[in-house]
Amino acid sequence: MTALTGAGVSASSGVPTFRDPDGLWKTFRPAELATPEAFRDNPGRVWEWYLWRRGKIAACTPNRAHRVLARWRERFGRFELVTQNVDGLHERAGSTDVIRFHGSVWEVRCAARCADSPEGWPDEMLQYAELPPPCPYCGGPLRPGVVWFGEVIPADTLRRSSEAADCEVFIVAGTSALVYPAIGLVAAARSMGAFTIEINVERTPVSGDVDLSISGPAEEILGLVDDQL
Ligand code: BJW
Ligand code: ZN
């Protein structure tokens, strides 16, 4: 079994989604904050936005959806978790080996990719206010370790998630199903024979393509399913 999660899974924890009525993209313009061009033109503004978001996320705690998915690794022989979320709540709930499709706000890397980012940059890098901290190798700006629009998904992430899509049951939960290539995993899973299930509080572009579309909050539906196991 494999699950692909989106921002809706963290919504009841208090992490803002992107495209809901009170989502981030209602207040902020993606082109000004979540593209490499935005960072090049105004690194301070982009850095500060992530600093603000890290502060908000740090105050949130995992909900039942995160906790259930964390347990399913042990419950099922093979369970893979692919998330579009950058908040780290799956890991805080105990999930391991999460395939973080869009990276993490808790990581930084050199904007120039001058060196392979060493594991675990010092935490104080994340605390820099106003301007991105300098790369210890080339002096250029460090940037959040996330995937912005127009950027390619790391090859290893694509490979691991394609392998994860080759499963018996594929659950897609809490995503507006608008962002590619992440949402392409649903069709990939289906074409490889998976039974596909969507859990969302609204209909999405994949609702008509999945085998079962369940309407409801992910934290409740996943909790109910877990209770029946
Ligand atoms: C609940 C709930 C509850 C609420 N329970 N549910 C093919 C076609 C068209 C466009 C493209 C294409 N291929 C590529 C593109 C371009 C682009 C793209 O997809 N654009 C579309 C938006 C049109 N993709 C890219 O640029 C990607 N890169 C790429 O393709 O590289 C190849 C390439 C490079 C160069 C040239 C050409 C090709 C990269 C995409 C990176 C996305 N990054 C972001 C920001 C990450 C960093 C950050 O957080 O700051 O990732 S954007 C944002 O959207 C974030 C999310 O991970 C992602 C998905 O959002 P998600 O999770 O679905 O959240 P929402 O808010 O949209 O939806 C929440 C849902 O939850 C709603 O449905 C609610 O109903 C639901 N919900 N409460 C259950 N309790
Ligand atoms: Zn560097």
Task: Work out which ligand 1 atom sits closest to the CA atom of 177.
Answer: 63
Q: Whose CA is nearest to atom 24 of ligand 1?
A: 180
pLDDT at 131: 85
Our answer on whether the CB atom of 104 is closer than 6 Å to any ligand 1 atom is no
Task: Work out which ligand 1 atom sits closest to the CA atom of 175.
Answer: 63
Q: 116 falls in which pLDDT band (50, 70, 90)?
A: low
Helix residue ranges per DSSP H, the chain? 8-11, 24-27, 30-33, 36-41, 43-58, 64-75, 89-92, 124-127, 155-165, 184-191, 218-228
Q: 224 falls in which pLDDT band (50, 70, 90)?
A: very high
CA-nearest of 88, 115, 83 to 99 is 83
Express each pLDDT in 157-198 by its tens digit: 999 999 999 999 999 999 999 999 999 999 999 999 999 999
Q: What is the DSSP letter of 178?
A: -
Strand order across the 212-215 sheet? 99-100, 80-83, 2-5, 169-173, 195-200, 212-215
Q: CA 88, 37, 159 angle in degrees (round to 5)?
A: 45
Our answer on whether the CB atom of 180 is closer than 6 Å to any ligand 1 atom is yes
More confident: 153 or 135 = 153
Q: 103 falls in which pLDDT band (50, 70, 90)?
A: very high
Average pLDDT over residues 103-127: 78
pLDDT at 157: 97
pTM: 0.95
Phi, psi of 95 (to 5 degrees): -70, 140
Our answer on whether the CB atom of 28 is closer than 6 Å to any ligand 1 atom is no
C-alpha of 10 from chain center: 10
**Dihedral over Cα of 211, 227, 74, 57: its sign:** positive
66 catalytic per annotation: no
Q: 121 falls in which pLDDT band (50, 70, 90)?
A: low
d(CA 27, CA 25): 5
More confident: 28 or 39 = 39
pLDDT exceeds cutoff 60 at 118: no
Our answer on whether the CB atom of 90 is closer than 6 Å to any ligand 1 atom is no
pLDDT at 227: 95
Q: Are the C-beta atoms of 4 and 175 separated by less than 8 Å?
A: yes
Give the distance (Å) from ligand 1 centre to CA of residue 54: 19
d(CA 49, CA 34): 10
Our answer on whether the CB atom of 23 is closer than 6 Å to any ligand 1 atom is yes
Express each pLDDT in 124-151 by its tens digit: 777 777 788 888 888 889 999 999 999 9
Kindly identify the ligand whose nearest atom is closest to the C-alpha of 187: 1
Q: Are the C-beta atoms of 25 and 18 separated by less than 8 Å?
A: yes
